[in-house]
Chains A and B, each alone.
Chain A
């Protein structure tokens, strides 16, 4: 085809792979970048490269981080006795925003689901057990903060079962609740039912 640029088309093709970006917006982004000065485009490119090259996972808790160990595991001010078990790194970022939890995390990187060919060995359950068995972290509470769907429930159950023999480790789970600022009539029945079942004394 005459009058088109092979290089431009290649950039559009790559940009169109991003989530939520169709060919039309990919073209708009590509043309926008062309208009920018060299420096800002190179900064973007470098940020993308280091995102992929330099970012790593904490070998202790499994969270996505700039270094290993991550800043949370390195922070001596945080309590070492508590581990909060979550499915993905983004859950850590969410819980951190609440400022409610001062312990450490363990990211499973998934939940058990035979239908998706994910068994207990395919998520970081063994690593969790290692942390609990090792002496340098004296764990006395494991908080399960997985999604309340059937896979999350099955995973919580499995971990709880593995932790049963550890008498000095308490296993807790986050409560099912009703979203703040939501009126009861707008909550689906399953959420409301669960919130009822896990009600506590006033």
Chain B
């Protein structure tokens, strides 16, 4: 999948910006604060309906404006050509349009344009709490399976309904249990499918991760990942459901006492290891960085193998941190990726050495105070 052009209005420091993109490599160079990350964040909006930088749409609107608008034209294999738009205003909230018609739900956008992002905040993936890893795997699988995303949304709904009963129901225990039952059924149905799907994808993902970590680190350590859920992970939904039911029954008193849903994929953890030490506890800064890099490259390759359309790869300001050897490895991976890539950087030096900016297949851009221009090459 490729984005051929992008139009921005009041998107952070881009008051009015129009860019035509190259089909392979797009390197965007500029000082910090010039607005280069905003350009690829806008592309991310058109893929995932949200920013990869800020948690709230409100902060994305230009200071002097009350709304922002992003429009992009895409070309791919499954859908030959289509437009995606995203508008946000304080009054109306966020809306996504595909070929000018609004989507009923923002989530319907996910998976239409697969995307992989590499950014400095990736180090949180391995160093912070389990929520980071759950949201990594959820956004990963949602892009390859719309049914999984629907299960996540339905599971969250059932869990909220159930939690509300656990927290606020005042009355006889038997009545509460009868009221909980319809939600238990939904919790188990969606939850079991989520666990089975996570197991299946992570089982396949392991090999990709091992391979990419070896390429990026030079094989000093062997990476492992362990998926932890309320039972022995299984790709079989029925097996998981039986275990789910048993655990719910076992934890019933505990749940009534804590007034919370305690069993389910919302409490899953993915533990990363290098050889046999746990990365989160014992990893060095450098190891975290390399592991995150390997995770994202593995995701890129997984998507490229599984999906009919190649993902768009966004790299935000990651080259500054890498030594010469890693820079070379990563650049080679980008050159090999047949899909479209966007790179932002403060320093253009390493790219000129490896990439031929012919202005057709590969293009270099300069961004200054929200203004973008193509850098002419000889």
* Contact surface of A with B, Cβ cutoff 8 Å: 112-115, 119-120, 150-151, 153-155, 157-158, 161, 188-190, 193
Closest to A188 in B: B108
Q: Is B146 in contact with A189, judged by CB distance below 8 angstroms?
A: yes
- Sampled A-B contacts (15; CB under 8 Å): A112-B182, A115-B160, A115-B164, A150-B157, A150-B186, A153-B186, A154-B161, A154-B186, A157-B185, A158-B178, A158-B182, A189-B146, A189-B150, A190-B146, A193-B150
Query: Does B235 sit at the interface, judged by CB under 8 A?
Result: no
Q: Is B161 in contact with A115, judged by CB distance below 8 angstroms?
A: yes
Q: Is B147 in contact with A193, judged by CB distance below 8 angstroms?
A: yes
In whole Å, how far is B145's beta carbon from the nearest beta carbon of chain A? 9
A150 interface neighbour in B146, B154, B181, Cβ under 8 Å: B154
Closest to A150 in B: B157
Give the distance in Å from the alpha carbon of A193 to the alpha carbon of B190 in the complex. Answer: 13
Closest to A159 in B: B182
Q: Is B165 in contact with A114, judged by CB distance below 8 angstroms?
A: yes
Give the distance in Å from the alpha carbon of A190 to the alpha carbon of B179 in the complex. Answer: 26
Best-buried of A113, A151, A154 by chain B (most CB within 10 Å): A154
Q: Is B157 in contact with A157, judged by CB distance below 8 angstroms?
A: no
Q: Is B179 in contact with A119, judged by CB distance below 8 angstroms?
A: yes
Query: Residues of A contacting B168 with CB < 8 Å?
Result: 114
Give the distance in Å from the alpha carbon of A189 to the alpha carbon of B110 in the complex. Answer: 12
Instruction: Give chain B interface residues in 170-185, CB to chain A under 8 Å.
Output: 178-179, 181-183, 185
Query: Residues of A contacting B146 with CB < 8 Å?
Result: 189-190
Query: Residues of B contacting A114 with CB < 8 Å?
Result: 161-162, 164-165, 168-169, 179, 183
Give the distance in Å from the alpha carbon of A153 to the alpha carbon of B187 in the complex. Answer: 12
Query: Residues of A contacting B162 with CB < 8 Å?
Result: 114
Given contacts A114-B165, A114-B168, A150-B154, contact A157 B181 (CB under 8 A): yes
Best-buried of A114, A157, A189 by chain B (most CB within 10 Å): A114
Query: Does B158 sit at the interface, judged by CB under 8 A?
Result: yes
Give the distance in Å from the alpha carbon of A188 to the alpha carbon of B179 in the complex. Answer: 31
Given contacts A189-B150, A193-B147, contact A150 B158 (CB under 8 A): yes
Known: A112-B182, A114-B161, A161-B181. 17 other contacts (CB 8 A): A114-B169, A114-B183, A115-B161, A119-B179, A120-B179, A150-B154, A150-B157, A150-B158, A150-B186, A153-B182, A154-B186, A158-B179, A158-B181, A158-B182, A188-B108, A190-B146, A190-B147
Give the distance in Å from the alpha carbon of A188 to the alpha carbon of B183 in the complex. Answer: 24
In whole Å, how far is B99's beta carbon from the nearest beta carbon of chain A? 13
In whole Å, how far is B260's beta carbon from the nearest beta carbon of chain A? 14
Query: Residues of A contacting B165 with CB < 8 Å?
Result: 114
Give the distance in Å from the alpha carbon of A153 to the alpha carbon of B189 in the complex. Answer: 12
In whole Å, how far is A50's beta carbon from the nearest beta carbon of chain B? 37
Q: Which 7 A-B pairs have the closest CB atoms?
A: A154-B182, A157-B182, A114-B164, A189-B146, A114-B165, A190-B150, A150-B157
Give the distance in Å from the alpha carbon of A42 to the alpha carbon of B158 in the complex. Answer: 50
In whole Å, how far is A147's beta carbon from the nearest beta carbon of chain B? 13
Give the distance in Å from the alpha carbon of A177 to the alpha carbon of B275 in the complex. Answer: 51
Query: Residues of A contacting B164 with CB < 8 Å?
Result: 114-115
Query: Residues of B contacting A193 with CB < 8 Å?
Result: 147, 150
In whole Å, how far is B117's beta carbon from the nearest beta carbon of chain A? 24
Q: Is A154 in contact with B183, judged by CB distance below 8 angstroms?
A: yes
Give the distance in Å from the alpha carbon of A140 to the alpha carbon of B178 in the complex. Answer: 25
Query: Residues of B contacting A161 with CB < 8 Å?
Result: 178, 181-182
Query: Residues of B contacting A189 with CB < 8 Å?
Result: 146-147, 150
In whole Å, how far is B345's beta carbon from the nearest beta carbon of chain A? 38
Query: Residues of A contacting B182 with CB < 8 Å?
Result: 112, 153-155, 157-158, 161
Closest to B180 in A: A114
Give the distance in Å from the alpha carbon of A105 to the alpha carbon of B149 in the complex. Answer: 36
Query: Residues of A contacting B181 with CB < 8 Å?
Result: 157-158, 161
Contact with A along B258-300 (1 / 0, CB 8 A): 0000000000000000000000000000000000000000000
Give the distance in Å from the alpha carbon of A167 to the alpha carbon of B157 in the complex. Answer: 33
In whole Å, how far is B178's beta carbon from the nearest beta carbon of chain A? 8
Give the distance in Å from the alpha carbon of A188 to the alpha carbon of B112 in the complex. Answer: 13
Best-buried of B108, B161, B164, B165 by chain A (most CB within 10 Å): B161
